[in-house]
């Protein structure tokens, strides 16, 4: 899930400090914290560093309930979760990423191409992007039609029929919002308000809601790289040490040296440290910052991540 998702959430619900990161590696500020995970954004609350947008949103919802955008009813929570998984694991984002226009100047930059191939594990050559566009467009048209003919079919403003945008809207809208604002990504012969009036009206409402929220909240404080690293390294931990689930199928032990990394993209970059906590939702590793050599806790979600003991032994008894 891209950085725009967390940005939209924060603009709708909270204030924060931030340090903008370069679009390609290296990202020296993140590396200085002892984090090898390569995707952005990441979030730090104290010396707890959270990776992956799904986990970041979960933590924000729990830690700041007064600004929470998530549903309270179980059936609405289920819809939120299904929309989140649909957008990320159901092919929507993967197909959206294939629709970056090949004529974009950044695709002439060898550094950017190499970086994205390392991230995605596939070719980003212009010829391959061009060759794959028709198939990606066919899938994206199907995704648009799904929203047009189901969730938005009754004319509601928001996916959960709420008075304002919710977490469900954020989960569902971000690939469509991203593409609709990218010139040349979606040809008007197949996409636009005439083809999908309800979807495009929803995108327009969402853009206005984000703009209004941005204008009504204080601007976030921008930190320089060294300031951000110092700010995080000198802070306390935001969360107490957790426990390692003794019934977890991996059979890992607290304090064991482990590696954790994503398996859907960015899988060439692994975090390594002592196992602090392991639950059904997340894994927490203890490592040290490279500047100041302070302990930090790196949090990864369990979904689409692999965790492995460094010595190759899990402790699981069959």
User: How confident is the model over 207-246, as pLDDT tens digits?
Assistant: 999 999 888 888 888 999 999 999 999 999 999 999 999 9
Q: Give the residue-averaged pLDDT of 180-188.
A: 97
| Residue 260 confidence (pLDDT) above 90 | yes
What are the tokens at 250?
């991996």
Render pLDDT for 165-176 as a digit per residue (tens, 0 to 9).
Answer: 999 999 999 999
What secondary structure does DSSP assign to 238-295, as a single string? SS----B-TT-TT---TT-EEEEEESSS-TT--EEEEEEEE-SSEEEEEEE-SSS--E
Please check whether residue 160 is in contact with residue 149, taking contact to mean a CB–CB distance below 8 angstroms.
Answer: no
The pTM of this model reads 0.93
Q: In the β-sheet with 42-45, what is the strand arrangement from edge to edge?
A: 42-45, 48-51, 295-301, 282-288, 271-278, 257-262, 305-309
Q: What pLDDT was estimated at residue 12? A: 60
Q: What is the pLDDT of residues 26-36, one digit of tens each?
A: 999 999 999 99
Look at residue 265 and tell me whether its pLDDT is greater than 70: yes
Name the packing angle between helices 53-63 and 167-180 (round to 10°): 140
Answer yes or no: are the C-beta atoms of 257 and 31 closer than 8 Å: no
Mean pLDDT score, 74-101: 97
Radius of gyration of the chain (CA): 20
d(CA 95, CA 98): 5
Q: At 154, phi and psi to the nearest 5?
A: -85, 5
276-295: average pLDDT: 97
pLDDT of res. 45 = 95
CB 176 within 8 A of CB 199: yes
Q: Which residue has the tokens 């392991």?
A: 278
- Distance (Å, whole) CA 52 – CA 315: 27
């Amino acid at each position: 899930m891209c950085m725009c998702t967390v940005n939209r959430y924060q603009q709708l619900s909270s204030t924060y400090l931030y340090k903008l990161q370069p679009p390609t590696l290296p990202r020296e500020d993140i590396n200085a914290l002892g984090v090898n995970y390569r995707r952005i954004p990441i979030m730090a609350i104290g010396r707890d560093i959270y990776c992956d947008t799904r986990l970041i949103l979960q933590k924000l919802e729990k830690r700041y309930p007064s600004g929470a955008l998530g549903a309270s009813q179980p059936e609405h929570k289920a819809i939120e979760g299904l929309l989140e998984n649909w957008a990320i694991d159901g092919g929507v984002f993967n197909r959206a990423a294939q629709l970056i226009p090949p004529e974009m100047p950044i695709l002439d930059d060898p550094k950017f191409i190499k970086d994205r191939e390392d991230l995605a594990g596939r070719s980003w050559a212009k010829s391959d992007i061009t060759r794959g566009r028709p198939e990606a467009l066919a899938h994206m048209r199907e995704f648009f039609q799904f929203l047009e003919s189901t969730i938005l079919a009754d004319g509601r403003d928001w996916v959960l029929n709420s008075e304002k945008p919710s977490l469900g809207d954020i989960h569902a809208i971000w690939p469509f919002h991203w593409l609709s604002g990218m010139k040349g990504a979606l040809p008007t012969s197949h996409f636009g308000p005439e083809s999908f009036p309800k979807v495009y009206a929803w995108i327009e409402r969402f853009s206005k809601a984000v703009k209004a929220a941005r204008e009504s909240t204080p601007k976030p404080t921008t930190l320089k790289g060294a300031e951000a690293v110092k700010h995080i390294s000198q802070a306390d931990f935001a969360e107490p040490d957790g426990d390692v689930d003794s019934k977890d199928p991996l059979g890992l032990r607290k304090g064991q040296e482990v590696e954790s990394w994503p398996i859907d993209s960015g899988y060439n970059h692994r975090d390594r440290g002592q196992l602090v906590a392991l639950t059904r939702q997340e894994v927490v590793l203890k490592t040290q910052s490279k500047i100041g050599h302070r302990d930090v806790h790196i949090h990864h979600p369990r979904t689409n991540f692999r965790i492995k003991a460094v010595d190759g032994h899990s402790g699981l008894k069959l």
